[in-house]
Structure 1
Amino acid sequence: MRPAEELRYLILAAQREGNRLLGRALRPLGVTSSQAEVIRVLQERAPLTLNGLGDLLVCESGNSPSRLVDRLVTLGLVNRDVAGHDRRHVELSLTEEGDRLGRRIARIEEELYRSIDAAAGGRDVDEVLAFLRAFVSDLPAGRALARRAGR
């Protein structure tokens, strides 16, 4: 197997296993990893428009997050508020329940990040990060992640 092929499959395997671990940890909360990402982005950046939210999501990169938001509104986790200055301008924010859930999701994410840090075992991760950023920089998910990171 050539190195580029192995790298491709290692990235895919890491993504799948990370999502599997996160999904298992989120299951008792009744949300998916994509819903959790929406909740966390709103927790950090609200109020946001639907387009503004979509620009920051990696899970739904290039797609409208409207279905995700609709479900979270139905669950009572997200508010849709019409802006006073323009009735066509709808802002999204978390309900109190959404914010409480966001704090629980943040704790689960922190546990996952600690396990990733432990797996890195003192290795220099900066070179890997630089490579991966360069690899996805011109792609929708890479641009969304860069916006979230403030780059």
Structure 2
Amino acid sequence: MRAAEELRYLILAAQREGNRLLAQALRPLGVTPSQAEVIRVLGEHGPLSLNGLGELLVCESGNSPSRLADRLVTVGLVRRDVPPYDRRAVELSLTEEGVRLGRRIAEVEEELYRSIDAAAEGRDLEPVLGFLRAFVGDLPAGQALARRL
């Protein structure tokens, strides 16, 4: 197996396992990893238009986030408001329940990050991070991540 192929599969395996672990930890909160990302982005950057939200999502990069937002509005975690300055626009923001859930999601994510930190202990991640930033930098998901940073 060539190095590029192994790298591709290692990235895929890491993404799938990380997402599986995150989904398992989020299950008791009643949200998926994609829904959790919307809640966290709105909590950190909201209120946002649907387009503004889409520009910051890695999970739905290149696709409309409307399906995720609709579901979160339906369950009372996200609110849709028409801003007074543009009655044609819609702004998305978290409800009080969404803010509370966002804090719990942050705790779940922090636990996952601690396990990743433990796995990386004693290793210099900067070369890997630099490579991955360069690899995805010009792609939609990489650009969404860069806008969030």
TM bin, normalised by shorter chain, reads: over 0.9
1:21 corresponds in structure 2 to 21
Render the CA deviation track for 1:28-50: whole Å, top value 9, x for unaligned.
11100000000000000111100
Between Structure 1 and Structure 2, how many residues are aligned?
A: 149
In structure 1, the partner of 2:51 is: 51
Residue 22 of structure 1: CA displacement?
0.1
For residues 100-146 of structure 1, the C-alpha deviation after alignment (integer angstroms, 9 at most, x for no partner) is 00000000000000000000012110110000000001110010011
Tell me by how many angstroms 1:2 deviates. Answer: 1.0
Q: CA RMSD in A?
A: 0.5
Moved over 4 A (4+): none
Q: C-alpha separation between the residues in 2 aligned to 1:59 and 1:8?
A: 18
* Partner in structure 1 of residue 74 of structure 2: 74
Counterpart amino acid of residue 132 in structure 2: L
3-state SS in 2 of match to 1:64: coil
- What's the secondary structure of 1:93's corresponding residue? strand
Q: Does residue 90 of the first structure (1) align with residue 90 of the second (2)?
A: yes
Q: Output one character per residue of 1:30-74: Cα deviation in whole Å (capped at 9) or x when no partner.
A: 100000000000000111100000000000000010000000000
Q: What are the residue-to-residue correspondences of 1:104-115 with 2, within 5 Å?
A: 104-115=104-115
One-letter code of the match for 1:9? Y
1:61 aligns with 2:61: yes
Q: Which amino acid aligns with 1:56?
A: L
Residue segments in structure 1 that go unaligned for 5+ positions in a row: none
Structure-2 residue corresponding to 1:146: 146
| 2:108 partner amino acid | I
CA deviation vs aligned residue, 1:60-101 (integer Å, no higher than 9, x gap): 000010000000000000010100111111111000000000
Q: Measure the CA separation in 2 of the matches of 1:148 and 1:122.
A: 28
